[in-house]
């Protein structure tokens, strides 16, 4: 038997052994365990604010704190909103209008964005003269920038259409770590509550957990039948939620190393574009291509609410750190605040 053939056989048998090991801990499914728990009652959220100002499709939104958020649109603008008053705090013109992602630094001092320009541009909001300027342009990706998330004012993680994720040092503009391993475009990333790890979802239908410190891929989760467009941590940091073009969302647990449950419905035929858990994790809000946002009971896997109000695809969604409100952004150019 040739060496390649031997290696292939070994890799295959390992896959089977891992599947068996995962099965071995399935003493009970999540459904069985929560059989005695009632479904959360109907959740009816209303639009409290509509943020108007973008002139084209909104591609991304990210909360900075309980009131401030940043949004990115194909009209070539990044807008920082005081969502409570609906005032625009900053309207930042971009060099490239093909923006796909934006992020607010936890400190509130910076925002970042990127897209078809393959770069992540960092903007300083607290400059001396009050003007918002480009602080750094992080260039090295060979594909579009699909997502970016600040760890702190000095570090940011990006995901790209070049199938890699990168940890950058903002001050020097250099790549500190490259996380390679996905076999398809990376579409989305989420940072763990303890900032030690992050997860990425890609067009190879898998989600990967990465160790930020040593650059290693710790775990890989499969099961989706199409691109994973959205990903996020369950608030306890021990589980991961994914949303895919296969019209379903899935919950994977890190400690049992496998899928716990799938959120899908025969009546939903459109891809999931975005997702966010509520503060307790009991609810998962997911945006879809069919202009709606569905609210799922995360434990019972039943739909308990719908947010309908957008006239085009819901492209992005986020829940404030204090859990008080949810923001949806849409191709109809509006952002809506719900609770």
User: Could you say which residues in the range 123-152 bind other proteins, by CB under 8 A?
Assistant: 144, 146, 151-152
If binding is defined by CB under 8 A, does position 52 make contact with other proteins?
Answer: no
Looking at the DSSP bridge assignments, the partners of residue 232 are 241
Touching other proteins, residues 210-239 (CB under 8 A):
213, 217, 219-220, 225-227, 234-236, 238-239
- Region of 20-28, 86-94, 124-132, 133-141 interacting with other proteins (CB under 8 A): 20-28
* Closer residue to other proteins in complex, CB, 88/219: 219
Q: Are 200 and 179 contacting, i.e. CB atoms less than 8 angstroms apart?
A: yes
CB 186, min distance to other proteins, A: 10
If binding is defined by CB under 8 A, does position 323 make contact with other proteins?
Answer: yes
CB 145, min distance to other proteins, A: 10
* Closer residue to other proteins in complex, CB, 55/324: 324
Query: Which helix H or strand E contains 277, and what residues bound it?
Result: strand 272-277
CB 45, min distance to other proteins, A: 7
* Distance in angstroms (rounded) separating the CA atoms of residues 185 and 133: 30
* Distance in angstroms (rounded) separating the CA atoms of residues 72 and 61: 6
Residues whose CB falls within 8 Å of the CB of residue 10, separated by 6 or more in sequence, listed in order? none
Give the per-residue contact string, 172-211, with other proteins (x = CB under 8 A; - = no): x------------x-x-----xxx-------x--------
If binding is defined by CB under 8 A, does position 292 make contact with other proteins?
Answer: yes
If binding is defined by CB under 8 A, does position 2 make contact with other proteins?
Answer: no
If binding is defined by CB under 8 A, does position 276 make contact with other proteins?
Answer: no
Residue in 191, 286, 316, 325 binding other proteins, rule: CB under 8 A: 325
Residue in 100, 110, 122, 209 binding other proteins, rule: CB under 8 A: 100
If binding is defined by CB under 8 A, does position 281 make contact with other proteins?
Answer: yes
Number of residues that bind other proteins (CB under 8 A): 108
Residue in 289, 293, 309, 328 binding other proteins, rule: CB under 8 A: 289
* Distance in angstroms (rounded) separating the CA atoms of residues 296 and 276: 11
* Distance in angstroms (rounded) separating the CA atoms of residues 137 and 127: 16
β-strand pairing of 272-277 with 164-169: unpaired
Please give the radius of gyration of the chain, using alpha carbons only, rounded to the nearest integer: 20
Any long-range contacts for 138-141 (C-beta under 8 Å, 24+ apart)? 138/168, 138/170, 138/173, 139/173, 140/166, 140/175, 141/166
- Region of 87-95, 119-127, 132-140, 322-330 interacting with other proteins (CB under 8 A): 322-330
If binding is defined by CB under 8 A, does position 298 make contact with other proteins?
Answer: yes
Query: 110-128: string of b/e by CB count within 10 Å (b at 16+)?
Result: bbbbbbebbbbbbbbbeee
Q: How many other CB atoms sit within 10 Å of the CB of residue 323?
A: 15
Q: Is 11 strand, coil or helix? A: helix
Residue in 1, 28, 128, 130 binding other proteins, rule: CB under 8 A: 28
If binding is defined by CB under 8 A, does position 324 make contact with other proteins?
Answer: yes
If binding is defined by CB under 8 A, does position 95 make contact with other proteins?
Answer: no
Give the per-residue contact string, 235-274, with other proteins (x = CB under 8 A; - = no): xx-xx-----xxx-----x-xxxx-x-----xx-xxx-x-
Q: Which two tokens stand for residue 23?
A: 């099965």
β-strand pairing of 155-160 with 164-169: antiparallel
Residue in 81, 112, 113, 115 binding other proteins, rule: CB under 8 A: 115
């Amino acid at each position: 038997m040739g060496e390649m053939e031997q290696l292939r056989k070994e890799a295959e048998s390992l896959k089977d052994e891992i599947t068996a090991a995962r099965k071995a801990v399935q003493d009970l499914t999540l459904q069985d365990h929560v059989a005695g728990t009632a479904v959360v009652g109907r959740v009816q959220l209303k639009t409290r604010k509509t943020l108007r100002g973008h002139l084209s499709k909104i591609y991304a939104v990210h909360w900075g704190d309980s009131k401030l958020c940043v949004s990115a649109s194909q009209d070539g603008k990044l807008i920082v909103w005081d969502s409570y008053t609906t005032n625009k705090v900053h309207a930042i013109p971009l060099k490239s209008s093909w923006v796909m992602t934006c992020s607010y630094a936890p400190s509130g001092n910076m925002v970042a964005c990127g897209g078809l320009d393959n770069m992540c541009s960092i903007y300083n909001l607290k400059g001396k003269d009050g003007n918002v300027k480009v602080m750094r342009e992080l260039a090295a990706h060979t594909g579009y920038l699909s997502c970016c998330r600040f760890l702190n004012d000095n570090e940011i993680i990006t995901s790209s259409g070049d199938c890699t994720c990168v940890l950058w040092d903002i001050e020097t503009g250099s790549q500190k770590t490259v996380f390679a391993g996905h076999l398809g475009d990376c579409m989305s990333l989420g940072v763990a509550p303890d900032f030690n790890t992050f997860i990425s979802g890609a067009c190879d239908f898998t989600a990967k957990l990465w160790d930020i410190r040593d650059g290693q891929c710790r775990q890989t989760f499969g099961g989706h039948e199409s691109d994973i467009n959205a990903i996020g941590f369950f608030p306890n940091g021990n589980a991961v939620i994914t949303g895919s073009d296969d019209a379903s969302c899935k919950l994977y647990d890190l400690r049992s190393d496998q899928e716990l449950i799938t959120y899908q419905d025969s009546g939903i035929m459109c891809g999931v574009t975005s997702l966010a858990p509520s503060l307790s994790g009991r609810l998962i809000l997911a945006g879809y291509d069919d202009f709606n946002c569905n609210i799922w009971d995360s434990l019972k896997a039943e739909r308990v609410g719908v947010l309908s109000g957008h006239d085009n695809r819901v492209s992005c969604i986020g829940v404030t750190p204090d859990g008080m409100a949810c923001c949806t952004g849409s191709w109809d150019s509006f952002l809506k605040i719900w609770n």
